Amino acid sequence: MARNKIALIGSGMIGGTLAHVAAREELGDVILFDIAEGLPQGKGLDIAESTPVYGASVNLKGVNDYAGIAGADVCIVTAGVPRKPGMSRDDLLGINLKVMKAVGEGIKAHAPNAFVICITNPLDAMVWALQKFSGLPTEKVVGMAGVLDSSRFAYFLSEKTGVSVADIHAWTLGGHGDDMVPMVRHSTVGGLPLTQLVAQGWMSQAELDAIVERTRKGGGEIVNLLKTGSAYYAPAESAIAMAKSYLADQKRVLPVASYCSGQYGLKDMYVGVPTLIGAGGAEKIVEFDFNADEKAMFDKSVASVNGLIEACKGIDPSLA
């Protein structure tokens, strides 16, 4: 069987990390694409020169032409600009929407059968626009945010409780913004829901509330530390987990920005929901039961995403 082909649209900090992880894990041959000349070629060659050290039988190539992504099985999109301190993800909307138009057209022309994972922010609006611009089936275009936010949530819970991250199952739903919805009742540490953890004295309610708040602001915490850009290791690993579930038909249920067509009462929008990812792409959305508080938080997050989608339509009337 031929090797998988992974196309990385954007070869900056996340794109380069994706290429490295995909090569090390032998996910397939890697094409790095970027508008910056030399950047994808340089990163591709550097990583290719590392493959003999760990014996990964994959090829890497950098390109500045969309023809290079032809026949890709997976496209992971990070093209655009990241935030700097003081910026919200929403501040990136105008610039990155134009980038999504170019990327969507490139994928439509050269890799229409790919499974597309968008990482560019503001995530939920950008993946919505990318699906429209590319015209690919909605189940083949998804956004990466929830795996990252949930991983941050799980890490903070592990740090607090001393329980291995391997035994923590954390969920965040909703949009990838500061009003995302960390799901306290549905997340577990060693099988115990977080509400029980508080009842049993593992941590106080105030400590749990602080972890929820830190999760919501997790991206900003990294931006403030790095000062020159945003997180890239954890976002890259999160997208690779999604790509693997598609390529190997693992059928993992992951928090993914998926197209909702009635699920959770939503129509024609992308937002973070538990999604089964297999060979068919986003095969099924799992519907959690919300209590009144969770529903109110989810609705608020959805309203923010809808505001961004409306802003996209205002900037580019072809999306309306």
Least gap, CB of 240 to ligand APR (angstroms):
14
- The residue whose Cβ lies closest to ligand APR is 12
CA–CA separation, 187 vs 177, rounded Å? 19
User: Alpha carbon of 211 to those of 5, 149, 153, 216, 285: distances in Å?
Assistant: 38, 12, 7, 9, 27
Least gap, CB of 172 to ligand APR (angstroms):
16
Task: Count the neighbouring beta carbons within 10 Å of the beta carbon of residue 14.
Answer: 27
Residues within the annotated binding site?
A: 10-15, 34, 83, 89, 96, 119-121, 152
Q: Which of these ranges, 113-121, 133-141, 162-170, 182-190, lies near ligand APR under the rule CB under 6 A?
A: 113-121
The token pair that represents 131 in the structure block:
């699906």
Cβ proximity to ligand APR, 78 vs 215, nearer residue: 78
The token pair that represents 85 in the structure block:
């301190």
Cβ proximity to ligand APR, 44 vs 82, nearer residue: 82
Cβ proximity to ligand APR, 90 vs 283, nearer residue: 90
Site for ligand APR contains 120 (CB under 6 A)? yes
Cβ-proximal residues to 115 (8 Å cutoff; 6+ apart), any chain: 73, 74, 75, 140, 142, 243, 246, 281
Task: Count the neighbouring beta carbons within 10 Å of the beta carbon of residue 143.
Answer: 31
The residue from 6, 75, 99, 107 that contacts ligand APR (CB under 6 A) is 99
User: Alpha carbon of 305 to those of 10, 13, 202, 241, 265: distances in Å?
Assistant: 24, 25, 35, 24, 15
The residue from 6, 21, 119, 276 that contacts ligand APR (CB under 6 A) is 119
Cβ proximity to ligand APR, 62 vs 174, nearer residue: 62
Q: Tell me how many residues contact ligand APR (CB under 6 A).
A: 29
Give the closest residue to 74 by CA, choosing from 171, 169, 153, 142.
142
Least gap, CB of 32 to ligand APR (angstroms):
10
Q: Which of these ranges, 114-122, 258-266, 290-298, 304-312, lies near ligand APR under the rule CB under 6 A?
A: 114-122
CA–CA separation, 169 vs 193, rounded Å? 9
Residues in contact with ligand APR by the rule CB under 6 A:
9-15, 34-36, 39, 78-83, 92, 96, 99, 102-103, 119-121, 229-230, 232, 235
List active site positions: 176
